[in-house]
Structure 1
Amino acid sequence: ALRTVATPGQESIAEVSRFLGVEPARCLKTLIVEGKDSGLTALVLRGDHELNPRKAEKIEHVALPLTLASPERVKAAIGCSPGSLGPRDLAIPIIADHSAAQLADFVCGANTEGQHLTGVNWGRDLPEPQSADLREVVAGDPSPSGEGPLKIARGIEIGHIFQLGDKYSRAMKATCLDENGEAVTLIMGCYGIGVSRIVAAAIEQNHDDRGIIWPQAIAPFQLALAPINMQRSGRLGEVVERLYAELLAAGIEVLYYDRKERPGVMFNDLELVGIPHRLVPSERGLDNDTLEYQGRRDPHPSHIKLDEAVAFIKARLAG
């Protein structure tokens, strides 16, 4: 049954739900926003939902840009502060989110300072509201495609499309001939891609605690050639130079790491940079006619035949 309950000092949905012992989803949140023609409009949501400003600005009665009415203006028009607002007996347009319009036996403000109503029902205690999609989606909502519940994940915009219509082409008198030979105004679009954002997004999705793991398609190099202590061995230097030339001749993009660093420093550098494939020639390997190979995602290195190195890397790059 409908009851009026004193809720002194309980302003927020969290405070009211805790005070009355009900879930926020059983409470209504009434937001008073500036309406058109200097009026006011009430937007009603479930207590556990948040208003989506872009959706709200599409409502006929809402003034642009979306602006919450000040507490002073709310009190002057309705007689209470925002914390005691509800949709009952309001002499202004009321738009409820679809989920709020489906509630029964809910809690809402009584439009009297420090009071709330419990056991409220649309149609019995207040008129059925006009409803619209007003809220932010949350994880678990049905997907628009009907293919299951929505999941919420962080993203980054790397490209965009704006439909410009004929706003600019009309001003520039830009036309073309249609199939009937009649001049028609061009419909324009704007298409952009953020190259630097692609780099940031790729790294965000492909990394570990040691550094970047470049996707092969956009890696700055396909292969790192990193000989160990080459400056100490003429034989190793000759083999590495020949292998480097063969790799380049095969069309492989190679980062030749020829700095005079210890193996640990060298490997840390290469893991940080994140080149997808790595070959490590060494004197010990030459004694066995082998090279050390490791993919950036591989947990451990393996050994391949020196004379099969180019074919091995080409096969890895191909698939």
Structure 2
Amino acid sequence: MKLSQLVGQRLKEAPRDAQTASHIFLIRGGYVRLVSAGLYTLLPLGRRITRKIEQILREEMDRVDGQEIRMPVVLPAELWEESGRYAKVGSELLRFKDRNGKDMLLGMTHEEAVVQVARTELVSYKQLPSMLYQIQTKYRDEARPRAGLIRVREFTMKDAYSFHGSQDCLEKYYERCHEAYVRIFKRIGLKQCLSILSDSGMMGGAVSHEFMAIADCGEDTIFASPDGSYRANREVAVAKLAFAKDAPLPLNKVHTPGCKTIADVAAFLKLSPAQTCKAVFYKDQDNKLVFVCIRGDLEVNEAKLRKAIQCPEIDFANDELIRAAGTVPGFASLLGIDAKKIRVVVDPSVSESSNLVVGANEEDHHMLNFNFARDAAGREHIMITDIATVREGDPCPLTGQPLQALKGIEVGNIFQLGTKYSAPMACNYLDQDGKSKPMIMGCYGIGVGRAMAAVIEQCHDDYGPVWPMAIAPFQVHLIGLNINQPEVRQACDNLYQSLLDAGIDALYDDRGEKAGFAFADADLIGVPLRLVVSPKTLAQSQVEFKQRNWGKRSELIALDGVLPFVQQQIQELMALCRPDTPTA
């Protein structure tokens, strides 16, 4: 490709709303252009990269016996009604009516659509396991698109779905897909991508993992032990906290005027927040109260709470609902509460601690020395489960070492779905005995555009992206300086043609721009290898060579040895992206 003909201008300035490296350089480098909030056009440079990512995805999915299909973006609502998701998913699902008044939607995931395929095409245990995948457009009506391609409304995803006759079969195949994902992210050039335990969320299922590209701009928090033996998303992370177990002391009511917050109570009583109990009130989707108790120095992890009470949506309760349960906002506790009438969830930090300060269920009063086992009535009706948000420095549940907090971009996820979709949608197979049973499912997703953006976050300098060879838009960037001089033009033309003839993907800057301008554009395009031909180098029958990640360093190579030299460089850089190559 000649740069004079390449569609997509390089820009000197970044958009005012661009804060992340990937957003800045994707716009400035001419990879994408904004159409509307969360909607982008991929320009030729961007499309060249995503095509290479998609090819890697196809190769790895085929390697684990996947079969590619293509499902529609527009789906009938009735499919989602079969699974029960149509009414449960919120406004992020774009619903509309077609010209005949039929309820339709834009697919944000394709579990229902693929189940429709499987229940007609897979009928016998002899056909299982089977995996179907696609690389297709998705639409999620994101409320707050951000960071360029990292959080958008329309995106391209590789989504795969496996079907099995047993849980054991699913678990074995899940491990194969996990290994495939590790290979994929190494092949596309991510330097640090961690597989972590995660919350299944609206997808459902018992087991799930997210693949997180570590980056400062990541919106997900990951907790990891220093040795890497434990890694989990903030939504599911746990810590091995120590709880004070002392001899129970008598309950003692104290006057605490105006002390409604944990900080106020702790300061007034000259105690640590860890010696108090926090009461937090939520309401579920049916407007029923959920009374939560947790140690005062901890925060409620709402993802854990939603999963514990099997409620997809919760919100804070108002004072009217709190008072109706017989409690006093700001001074509430379990004392005198009938746990049979309201839903109560208690964190182990409360049930296993001694002599905590709790509300007295009386304005401006608290009780000292609350002990759950002694003082909480109706304990058999109370759910005790971990609902605490892990903090950096909390002890690892496996090693006891202080947990580290990392920021990550979710670039892929895998789920063991079980029969969440197959059972309600009658996706059944006949087993060896001729009995009809629901298929057991797994699903496996990767966002293509987000993966490209994540690579930039990990592979860039102050001037632009430093693309890994495996997904770079071109392998070699040839620049001609003073190209209006016939000998320079002829040398560049000949070298460009020889690169193409050798099957090397080359970009040729034939515009005749000044060196500073040409090099700034080259940095924004980020091609791994650069060749510069000028009157000065030609006088010595040489070409200037540099790798994109060398900074200002370069070297001279003989003009007649360029081709084998470049081929060797490409091989070495491609090797860095092989899954069997140790990370430097």
Task: Flag whether TM exceeds 0.5 (same fold).
Answer: yes
Counterpart CA distance in 2 for 1:192 and 1:64 is 21
2:464 counterpart residue number? 211
Is the Cα contact below 8 Å between 1:225 and 1:244 reproduced in 2?
yes
Amino acid at match of 2:471: I
Structure 1 segments unaligned to the other structure (5+ residues): none
Equivalent residue, structure 2, for 1:131: 384
**Which structure 2 residues correspond to residues 216-231 of structure 1 after superposition, within 5 A?**
216-231=469-484
Q: Matches of 1:167 and 1:9 in 2, distance apart?
A: 49
Hey, what's the Cα distance between the residues in 2 that align with 1:215 and 1:290? 26
Aligned to 2:328: 80
The answer on 1:106 being equivalent to 2:356 is yes
- The structure with more radius of gyration: 1
| Matched position secondary structure for 1:265 | helix
Residues 157-210 of structure 1: CA deviation (Å, up to 9, x unaligned)? 333445554565567655545445655443344443221111121122222221
Q: How many residues align?
A: 316
Q: CA RMSD in A?
A: 3.1
Query: Contact between 1:226 and 1:258, CA under 8 Å: does it hold in 2?
Result: yes
Q: Are 1:234 and 2:483 matched, yes or no?
A: no
For each residue in 1:276-299, what CA deviation from the matched residue of structure 2 results, as whole angstroms up to 9, or x when unmatched? Answer: 221111111112222222222113
Query: Which of residues 473, 497, 516 in structure 2 aligns to 1:245?
Result: 497
The residue that corresponds to 2:368 in the other structure is: 118
Q: Counterpart of 2:557 in 1: which secondary structure?
A: strand
Query: Offset of 1:44 from its aligned partner?
Result: 0.9
Where does 1:142-181 land on structure 2 (aligned, <5 Å)?
Answer: 142-143=395-396, 146=399, 148-161=401-414, 163=416, 165-166=418-419, 169=422, 174-179=427-432
2:441 equivalent to 1:193? no
Q: Is the 8 A contact 1:163 1:188 kept in 2?
A: yes
SS in 2 for 1:309: helix
Structure 2 Cα separation of the partners of residues 109 and 20 of structure 1 = 13
How many percent identity over aligned positions?
38
Does the Cα contact within 8 Å between 2:284 and 2:313 map onto a contact in 1? no
Q: Deviations over 1:22-43 (max 9, x none)?
A: 3333322112334799864421
Say yes or no: does 1:279 pair with 2:526: no
| 1:309 equivalenced with 2:562 (yes/no) | yes
Relative distance call for 1:257 and 1:14 in structure 2 (3 A) is farther
State yes or no: 1:51 paired with 2:303.
no
d(CA) in 1 for partners of 2:429, 2:399: 41
CA contact (8 A) 2:285 2:314 kept: no
Q: Secondary structure at the match of 1:275?
A: coil
Matched residue type, 2:465: I
User: Is 1:14 matched up with 2:267?
Assistant: no
Distance 1:184 1:102 in 2: 43
Q: Answer yes or no: is the 8 Å Cα contact 1:34–1:63 preserved in 2.
A: no
Cα distance change, pair 147–80 in 1 and its aligned pair in 2 (3 A): closer
Partner of 2:337: 90
